[in-house]
Every structure is written in structure tokens, then in C-alpha cells.
Structure 1
Amino acid sequence: MNIEVAEVRQTLEWLSSISDETGPGTTRLLYSPSWLTAQKALKEKFESLGMECRFDAVGNLFGTLVGSESPERKIATGSHVDTVVRGGKLDGQLGIFGGYLAVKHLLETCGRPKKSLEIISMAEEEGSRFPYVFWGSKNIFGLARPEDVTHLKDGQGVGFVDAMRGCGFDFGDGKVKDDLDAFIELHIEQGNFLEEENVTVGVVNSIVGQKRYNITLRGEANHAGTTLMRYRKDTVECLSRIVVHCLDKAKAAGDPLVLTFGKVVPKPNTVNVVPGETLFTMDCRHTDAAFLQAFTAELEADMKAIAAKAGIDIEIDNWMNEKPVSMDANVVSIIERVCRARQLNYKVMHSGAGHDSQIFAPRVPTGMIFVPSIKGISHNPAEDTKLEDLCEGIKALAYTLHELAY
């Protein structure tokens, strides 16, 4: 199968240009104008291949190439269409346009499949506009509840439900999609393992579990000049002690544990006032569920002790708790076999980032295919992958879909 570099470049540039901002990077947040434009444009692309297309209630897009023998059973591929703010040109959307190119070439070279092939452009995964992740894939399996999002607002005060209805969508009926025999997601690695190992295709066997927190410290705001150090209840000092302690503990635990303090909002956030309140986030990930739970429980206890010693009140909100997920052993074996047969340069690996596949995997036989990320950069306008590596990943996807559907 000949996947042309020029065709990959053209399709990539077309989709990544649909953005709410004029760069750098691509910004396409859930239920924004560019999000809706992208979903409608993808629908036209899929229909140009003769695929039957539909949106579900919340805006997930399904394009189906109807099978010749068992049309009611589907082999699906795809990913999420939303991005982070000023994100890269590959995260999420590679799985969509790569799926489109794979299906296009399969149709041209092999004709119609026996089972139906389906491309899913999922509404949302990132949680970038509203603090809720996997809205698209969770709705596919009836896992999302209206009460989870009805109170949510974005940074401009726009309500989740208002934004959704403004795009012409509404809550689903909670039905579970039950016509999938397999799901394969093509994605960039978002790390540097494949590049460092000089490998072009990653065959993913598991996805790390992750816990995300919003944590608030409350002390006392006071004058920066007249409040002696021994009388202060400084929440930034408390935060500093927490961060150093927790990161030291994470480094001692070693790979594959990772810990990140990514957002800090001190209040009143001015030069001459002791910060009386500080909000910060914590993100912790590991491939072993029991270890992740035990480690974060220790961190929570440690943070409470550090805050108590400083006379600071602490509020810990663990708003995301996703367990590690294994990919289907048979699907992983099929991807490996395809890579060996086609002499693709591959390695089996785990994913350190969360993906829609972790929602699919407990319910549908699921596999993931990674391509390298240059310098391991992602969620950044500099996110990139060599076009030749993209072609190899799309080939691996196409051959896997052929194995499963033809």
C-alpha cells in the first residue's frame, strides 16, 4: 500500500488550519465555531468516499463504509477532534485524518470490506474548555451523565449546556454503542521513547492511570512590608514546600511514575501583598493502579501535614481518577503480526498519556498505534512528526483494519 507523503501533508494542513485563533498552533475547543466547522468538513470528506455519516446527540461524528457480508458489525478507528489551546497539529486529529486516508486507500486497493469500517471523530477528550474529559467517548458508551456538566462554565462564563445547544446538539439518551468488534486508535506518542529508540511505530499494550487534583490553600493576605516573616500565613511558601517535598518523593519512586504541578494561581497575585490564597493543580500517573492509589494517598496526607504545620487550611479535590487500562491482547498481537509481515520498524510500549482508547478498551477489543513525536513535544505549536513516520503509522493502521475487516 502506497501512502504518499504529499497526500498526508495536504490532509494534515487542511484539518489543522481549522482553528479559532490564527496561531501559533491549532485551537479547536469543544463546541466552538472551529470545532463545528471541522466536524462538518470531516463529514463531507467521509461522504466523498461513499461513507454513510451521522452525528449522535452530543456531536460525535460517525462515518461508515458499509461492509459487503456483515454490515451490522463494525471495525472502527478514529480519535478526538478537539485540541488544547494553541496545541499541535497532530494530537487527536491524526487518528481522524489518518483513519480517513487508511480507509480511502483500502477502498481503492481492496474494494469494500466484509465488515463495515467506521471512522469516529469524537467530540472531546482534552478537557481544555470545560473541566470534564472524554465527553465524546463516554457518551458513546452511555457513561456520561447530564448532571456531570450542567453546572460547568468555561473561562468566559459560557455554560457547557448553552455551548452544546448552540452547536445544535443536546444530551444523549444514554444508549450504549454495541456494534463494534474492534477499535484501533492511531496517535502521536507525545513522548520521546520512539524517537530515542529510532523506531517508527509503537504498538501500545497499556495506558497509564492518572489522577488529577485541584488544590486550594487558604492562609491570610497581608501587607508585604509590615508583616514580619514569623507572623505570616503565606500560601505560596506553603505551596513551595509541598511541591519540593512531593517531587522529591516522585523522583525517588522512579519510572514509570510521573508527577506534575502544572497550574498555580495565587491571590491577590500582586507584588506587595502576602498571598492569602493559592489554587494549584496536581497530575500523577502510573501503569499500576494499586501503586498510583497508594502513592497519591501518601501525597495527600503529606500535603495536609505541611499545611497544618504552616497554619494553612487546605482543600483537596481529586476530580479525575482514571485507572490504568490494558489493550486487548489479541488486537495487540494482530498489530504486531501486521508490522512484522510488512517489515515495519516497531516496538511494544505503554502510553504515558490518556486517550479515548482507555474508554473503549474495557468494552470493545481495542488497540493503539503510535508514531514518534519529534523531541517528545506535544500540547505545543512545535508538536510535529516526520511525514515519513506518519505514512508508516497510517500504513500500520490500514493493514490492521484490513486484517480485521476484510
Structure 2
Amino acid sequence: MVDIQSNEIEELVEWLSNISEDGEGVTRLLYSQEWIEAQSQLKEKFEELGMDVEFDAVGNLFGTIKGTDEPEKIIATGSHIDTVVNGGRLDGQLGILGGYLAIKHLIEKNGAPKKSLQIISMAEEEGSRFPYAFWGSKNIFGIANKEDVANIADKDGVKFVDAMHNAGFDFLETAPKHNDLEAFIELHIEQGNFLEEEGASVGIVNSIVGQKRYDVVLKGQANHAGTTLMSYRKDTVEAFSRIAVNGIDKAKAIGNPLVLTFGRVNPLPNTVNVVPGEVSFSIDCRHTDQNALNEFTAELEEDMKRIATEMGISIDINLWMDEAPVPMDENIIQTIEQVCVENKLNYKVMHSGAGHDAQIYAPRVSTGMIFVPSIKGISHNPAEHTETSDIIQGIEALKNSLEKLAY
């Protein structure tokens, strides 16, 4: 039986989305006035539900309904409150609003749970104001390093530490202990088009991909575009092109779930009549299997070096991100799948090609993720949208999973 009503969802999404900077879409950056207002209003919303509500030192917000039998054991849900600049109305905040509705309906239906139920509105995930991501969830487990943010600033020169202090928050004095967290489930939009293409309303995530990101610099020789014969050129755009085509062809031959992206390319001097003597570019490579990711990127690195050497061009390869794939908990996956079957929800088991707070939780707490479709796969964009009927199925999957775990 479906309990969640479309008007509940639409009103909550409209309410929270309106707490935003002026402009298109939703902009709510870490420690901004809009962020402070949103967290404060969510605190009031949680308190109205009878929750015990508190902020931690850095601004993560926790609302808890104490369990009657084992209150020290916590079944949690939630997501992040921050957005990208001019983002959509669902990324991050759907997991908070959906968790709120799921717990609200469970309390109305069943009263207090046996184990404690908790919703977490995490301070930050996106890295959209400052060059640091997962500040919220990393602080929950005491793995955020003060040194990493001590000297960083936003595009306007505002230092991270100053913004945090001005918002009324500070660094954690001691590492928190979250041995009381027994399970965590995050509801999120897919941010891809798999579910829409498959005609499914719920995605049960079994793994979050590992990622390797590179910055690569090729150096050849800038020269006159008219007088330098083709056979004498050390053209770094040609070298980049060979590298990109070679890598993409091999990635396509291997197929899903491997993905490879050359997302940023900067030729120098970037002038119409000069052979480009330098090109810097980025590489983003992802896979759900660590060995497969390692094997492909090792081959990619060797291919890049070979192509550069053959063309008499120097190459510098900087691997600056190397995140391992993160599997979700098998018992949580089975729980979500069971409630989908029992409630005739239209679901698919899938992996996540994007990073989420759940990947910080998963190595430390039994963790699962539930996706709902993104129309045309659009996200981080004001056009981001999910049909309310699909959101209802996602919240129902979350609600019934929390019920099995906490009641």
C-alpha cells in the first residue's frame, strides 16, 4: 500500500528549493546565509516531528526518534544540503526530504521504532564553494583533515575557516564515535539515464564506481602554422588527438561499466596561426572493479607515453585522484530488494557512476543506496527533474526498508 502522497513531496521540494540564492535553479553553498537558513528550518521541521535534534561541530544536522527497545542502535537515512551553483531541485535535498517523509509516515503508522531512527542533513558533499568534497560525511567519522581546509578559499577569496566561523561552526575537537550507527540508506536521484531507459522507478545500488583522475601536460614546439611543414611539426594537439581516440576506442571495446572522459583540454598558445606547442588535459576514468580499473589505466598510461615518444613530445602524467570502488552492504541490498518485491515496486539493481555520501559511510557502516530516475539523465542543472510518481516509489522503498531494520 502506498502511503506517500504527491502533494506532500511537491510542497516540501518547493519549500526547500526556495531557500536559495537569487538566480536560476537552486544555489545553496556551504556556510552561506541560504545554507544556514535551510539547516535552521530543517531543524524546526524535525523538531515538529518530535525528534531530538542537534548540530555537530561543523554543521551536520541530526534528527532522532529514540527506539523503545534498543535506543543505542541507530538506523539512519539522509543526504547533503548543499548544492552546486544553479543546480536542480532534487540533488542532495531529495534524500533529506524523502527520509523525513519516510520516518514521518512510519511514526504515524507504527509509533516509536524499536531501534532509533535518524535523519541526517549533511553539511556538504559537492565541493562547489570550496575545493573540498564530503566535508559533512567525513567529519561524521572523524576522517576530515583540518590541514586540508585551513588555507583554502572560495572564488571571492573568502577563507573556508572564516566562512565556517561566521556561520557559527568550528572544527571537531575530538574524533566522533559512531559505533551506534547500525545502518545507513541514502535516497538520491540517479543523475544518469539508466533507469529511464530501462523503464524502472527504483534503482538498488550495489556499488559506487572507483575513479582515477589525471592532469596531463604535453610539450612539443610552437611554430608558424604557414611555414612549418607537416613532417617537421611537434604538434601537441595532434598528440592529444591520437591519445584521446586511442583511449576512447579501447574503452568502447571493453564496454560497460568502464567509462573514460577527456573533459578539459587547453592548447597553448591557442592561436589560429601557431602550431600548438603545449596541451594540458584532464582524464576521468571509472569502473566498479578495482582490478579492471587498474589494468585499463595502466595500459592507457603506457599508450600515452608511447604516442608522445613516437612524436618527439614530452609528457607529464599526474594521477591526482585514485578512489577505490565502494560496494554496498549485501544485507541492505537484499532488504531493499525484498521490500521492492513485496510492495510491487518497479526496480533494477545497478551501480552508481557518480560519487555520493554513501561511499564514505559504506566502509564503516552497513550502507545502501536507492536511486530514482533522472529525466534525460540531467542533473546539476535547473532542468533536473524526476516524475513525482517515481519519487513516491523511491520513498516507499526507503520507508519500508527502514521499517524492516528499525521496527
TM-score with structure 1 setting the length? 0.91
Residue aligning to 1:87: 87
| Amino acid of the structure 1 residue aligned with 2:26 | T
Query: Structure 1 CA distance, aligned partners of 2:91 and 2:67?
Result: 29
**Alpha-carbon separation, structure 1, partners of 2:255 and 2:292:** 12
Asked if structure 2 preserves the Cα contact closer than 8 Å seen for 1:80 and 1:93, the reply is yes
* More displaced 10-residue stretch of structure 1: 165-174 or 71-80: 165-174
Q: Distance in 2 between matches of 1:176 and 1:71?
A: 16
Contact 1:20 1:32 in 2 (8 A): no
| Deviation (angstroms), 1:323 | 1.2
Q: How do residues 185-224 of structure 1 correspond to structure 2 at under 5 angstroms?
A: 185-219=186-220
CA contact (8 A) 1:220 1:233 kept: yes
Whole-angstrom distance in 1 between the partners of 2:194 and 2:167: 39
Q: How does 1:54-203 map to 2 (within 5 A)?
A: 54-172=54-172, 173-203=174-204
Aligned to 2:9: 8
CA deviation vs aligned residue, 1:269-328 (integer Å, no higher than 9, x gap): 555555554433221111111110111122122223333444444333322222112211
Q: Is the 8 A contact 2:326 2:359 kept in 1?
A: yes
AA partner of residue 367 (structure 2): T
SS at match of 2:299: helix
Partner of 1:306: 307
**In 1, Cα distance between the equivalents of 2:395 and 2:54?**
24
CA 1:158 to 1:116, structure 2 compared with 1: closer, same or farther past 3 Å?
A: same
After the TM superposition, which residues 336-355 of structure 1 pair with which residues of structure 2 at under 5 Å, given as runs? 336-355=337-356
Partners of 1:28 and 1:234 lie apart in 2 by 43
State the shift of 1:149 in Å: 2.8
How large is the RMSD of aligned CA atoms in angstroms?
Answer: 2.3
Cα deviation digits, residues 12-70 of structure 1 (max 9, x gap): 122223333410x2222333333333222222221221222222222222111222222
- Give, in whole Å, the separation in 2 of the partners of 1:351 and 1:47: 33
Deviations for 1:107-160, whole angstroms, at most 9, x for unmatched residues?
222222121111111122223333333222122112221223334343344433
Confirm or deny that 1:260 pairs with 2:261: yes
Q: Which residue pairs with 2:43 in the alignment? A: 43
Q: 1:158 to 1:295 in 2, by over 3 A?
A: farther
Give 1:213's aligned amino acid.
Y
Q: Provide the rounded CA distance (Å) in 2 between the counterparts of 1:69 and 1:250.
A: 52
Q: 1:10 to 1:273 in 2, by over 3 A?
A: farther
What is the one-letter code of the residue matched to 1:387? T
Partner of 1:238 in structure 2?
A: 239
Q: Residue 365 of structure 2 corresponds to which residue in structure 1?
A: 364
Alignment partners' CA distance in 1, 2:134 and 2:153? 17
**Following superposition of structure 1 onto structure 2, how do residues 384-403 of structure 1 map, counting pairs within 5 Å?**
384-403=385-404
Q: Is the 8 A contact 2:127 2:133 kept in 1?
A: yes
Write the deviation string for residues 220-253 of structure 1: whole angstroms up to 9, x where unpaired.
5566666665665544443323222211121111
Match of 2:21 in 1: 20
Q: Give the length in aligned residue pairs.
A: 405
Query: How far off is 1:164 after superposition?
Result: 2.8
TM-aligned CA distance change 1:66 to 1:323, over 3 Å = same
| Mapped partners of 1:109, 1:303: distance in 2 | 60
- Cα–Cα, structure 1 residues 159 and 233, in superposed 2: closer, same or farther, change >3 Å? farther
Over the matched positions of the two proteins, sequence identity in percent amounts to: 67
Unmatched runs of 5 consecutive residues or more in structure 1: none
Equivalent-residue separation in structure 1 for 2:219 and 2:140 (angstroms): 40
Question: C-alpha separation between the residues in 1 aligned to 2:178 and 2:342?
Answer: 33
Structure 2 residues without counterparts, runs of 5 or longer: none
TM, length-normalised to structure 2: 0.91
Partners of 1:342 and 1:96 in 2: how far apart? 22
- Relative distance call for 1:162 and 1:281 in structure 2 (3 A) is farther
